[in-house]
Structure 1
Amino acid sequence: MENTAPIVLVHGFWHGTWCWSSVIEELASRGLAAVAVDLEGHGLNSLAPAARWARPFDPAGYATEPSPSAAVTLSAATELLAERVRRIGRGEPCLVVAHSMGGAVATALAERFPELVAGVVYVAAFAPTAGLPATAYITMPENTGTMVGDQLAADPMAVGALRFDTGDSTRHAALVETFYGDVPAEVAAAAISLLSSDAPAGMAAEPFTATAARYGRLPHTYVVCEQDNAIRPDLQRRFIREIDAIAAEPTTVVTLDASHSPFLSQPAALVDAIEKAQYAADRTR
């Protein structure tokens, strides 16, 4: 469609472009162009610790080997995303849809490069606008009940990453409960097999402040996932309040009775929200 903003899909920690496959298919069926990109330290931009592939497997070595992604920061991830968005949109603004920790990068992108962003759609995502790093929100009362920390196979401070051991099948049931509670079992199993081992701790630890003059003038949509065991619904609603504190217009809120991964469990419902956000963004272009 003429004058329609391209849609750029940004995954969260441990995931990659693959997680958006069903959403891209649904968007295409509605005549909407979308591209998924890998964040710095993820997907085709990721490197696993050598201990992940060592045989026999050494759990102690895996728990202590420094991450190849330890140097990745929010700033670096934002620069890479900006390059991708600029290329995809050919200099024109894109609608950026971000999941989980990808929301922190999308927020920084919208503040630093607002000319590249037609709007931001958060999907159960971090949206740290108030000068705190994303990590500061993890232990807030609104996030009580999150299961992510229980799945870590190493101390993030020691290795520089939030590390999963997806090769340990005894951990899979908990990973499903954390991320994929309403996802078909065979799809959840495939997703676990595709997760990166390391999510760069530095991406979540860098503080960031968004401003009303830049980030705040863009339209925002937030998809709240009510059954989320990774980023709890109360924390998602806190992010909405913080966005609205600096935004020119109130955040459009969509609520799904979904786990942390509606792109796998409810792609059509998620695309409904994206389609409406794109229409709103196009009206402001």
Structure 2
Amino acid sequence: MGICLSTESPPRKNHSKRVTNQSTTSANSNSSNRWSRVRSLSSKREKFDDAMIHEHAIAAALLFQQNGGVLPFDRSTSLRHPPGSANSKRYNPLPRSSSTRPRSVADPLLPPQQLLNQDLNLDELETSHIVLVHGGGFGAWCWYKTIALLEECKFKVTAIDLTGSGIDLFDTNSIKSLSQYVTPLIDFFEKLTDGEKVILVGHDFGGSCISYAMELFPSKISKAIFIAASMLKSGQSTLDMFSQKENTNDLMRQAQKFIYTNGNNLPPTAIDLDKMLLKDLLFNHSPPKDVALASVSMRPIPFPPVVEKLCLSDSNYGKVRRFYIETPDDNAIPIALQQSMINQSPPEKVFRIKASDHSPFFSKPQALHKLLVEIAKLT
């Protein structure tokens, strides 16, 4: 999570290929007829979608608790269809959706037969195992939609609860270092068999966490995907990255509540976020039900890992293929700051989810899913 973020960015450098995920605006007479038939059933489908989303959320939470926090969850009975891609000639377009159903703001669930990915052959991928690492204050619970979608495509999915996060009972205020915070992720990699690789995904402060793992286990990581995440250079801390800007993010400043468990004369032990400002800060385009889930599930962010400087080498961290997914309507890590990180440490390719807030796994799960699959297929 950013601290006193900025909205001003240095000039862009064209180091990375960029793909924008957005729907096409063209239409013809045949598509118009199909839209008409779809709209006639929209009311009934929206009610069905609402009920289905609610059922999935409850099922995910129950299974998560019953399994002691071990993921993946059972597979969903429905899938969601990703939107079409940008049609600009300067970008390499992603495959367009064959669905004619209009998407709602809540990105509702769609029947399986309407989902793309029918041409996906996992045997052709370097790895079909995706590891999801949450951001500061979040937990593995935030990935429940992404897990369901990926598992429908037969991916193996692991969602990690970092120390003091999600259902991990460790006291957040007692976390002293980044290595302690990412211990569950390190334990996971140490248990992987020789030759086994994964696609590592990090959101928000999870970007620093996956960078730490990339330095230690480069041979076990096929690709690293940063989603609205801290993507730092060696010698930087997350606090350094977010403090170097001239301007500050007023909303973040208002939402932050520093916790001083060791006394006010010593550095903070954790950062909490004002529940009243969560929606505007992190979920400004997300469905109300997901905002409610987050408001009762988020934990404080340990402070020492935020100020710890990363030590990254070209021989380890630099060997892993990196990709970045931008969230342009992000109020927590503004797009200008995301692009500043991209310019300073260019990844192989940059994608963008149109109209996404800081939490695309809630606000744009279909689009996020499509990009994760697309990146997994890159050779």
| TM-score category (smaller protein) | 0.7 to 0.9
Tell me the matched-pair count. Answer: 249
Instruction: Tell me what 2:282 maps to.
Output: 179
Describe the shift of the 1:46–1:233 C-alpha distance in structure 2 as closer, same or farther (beyond 3 A). farther
SS in 2 for 1:18: helix
Given candidates 245, 262, 273, the residue that maps to 1:141 is: 245
Instruction: Kindly provide the CA deviation profile for residues 113-146 of structure 1, in whole angstroms up to 9, marking residues without a partner as x.
Output: 2122111100000011231110112223287436
Instruction: Tell me what 2:77 maps to.
Output: none
So what's the TM-score if we normalise by structure 2?
0.61
Q: Distance in 2 between matches of 1:134 and 1:179?
A: 18
Residue 195 in 1 paired to residue 298 in 2? yes
Describe the shift of the 1:81–1:142 C-alpha distance in structure 2 as closer, same or farther (beyond 3 A). farther
Instruction: Kindly provide the CA deviation profile for residues 138-194 of structure 1, in whole angstroms up to 9, marking residues without a partner as x.
Output: 22328743633321233566441012354xxxx2xx210100000012221221111
Instruction: Tell me what 1:73 maps to.
Output: 177
SS in 1 for 2:155: coil
Instruction: Tell me what 1:225 maps to.
Output: 327
Q: Distance in 1 between matches of 2:241 and 2:337?
A: 8
Describe the shift of the 1:36–1:75 C-alpha distance in structure 2 as closer, same or farther (beyond 3 A). same
Residue 9 in 1 paired to residue 106 in 2? no
Given candidates 149, 153, 178, the residue that maps to 1:30 is: 153
Describe the shift of the 1:10–1:128 C-alpha distance in structure 2 as closer, same or farther (beyond 3 A). same
Q: Distance in 2 between matches of 1:143 and 1:116?
A: 39
Residue 164 in 1 paired to residue 273 in 2? yes
Residue 111 in 1 paired to residue 215 in 2? yes
For the 8 Å contact 2:202–2:226, the answer to whether it is kept is yes
Gaps of 5+ in 1: 49-67, 245-249
Given candidates 34, 39, 43, the residue that maps to 2:162 is: 39
Task: Give the greater-gyration-radius structure (CA).
Answer: 2
Instruction: Tell me what 1:214 maps to.
Output: 316
Relative to structure 2, which stretch is displaced further, 220-229 or 233-242?
A: 233-242
Q: Distance in 2 between matches of 1:190 and 1:274?
A: 24
SS in 1 for 2:229: coil
Gaps of 5+ in 2: 1-121, 261-265
Report how far residue 43 of structure 1 moved.
Answer: 1.4
Instruction: Tell me what 1:272 maps to.
Output: 370
Describe the shift of the 1:159–1:46 C-alpha distance in structure 2 as closer, same or farther (beyond 3 A). farther
SS in 2 for 1:220: strand
Q: Distance in 2 between matches of 1:20 and 1:268?
A: 12
- Runs of 4 or more, structure 1, over 4 Å off, are 155-158
SS in 2 for 1:95: strand
For the 8 Å contact 2:177–2:305, the answer to whether it is kept is yes
2:341 alignment partner AA: F
SS in 2 for 1:69: helix
Superposition CA RMSD, Å: 2.0
Instruction: Tell me what 2:186 maps to.
Output: 82
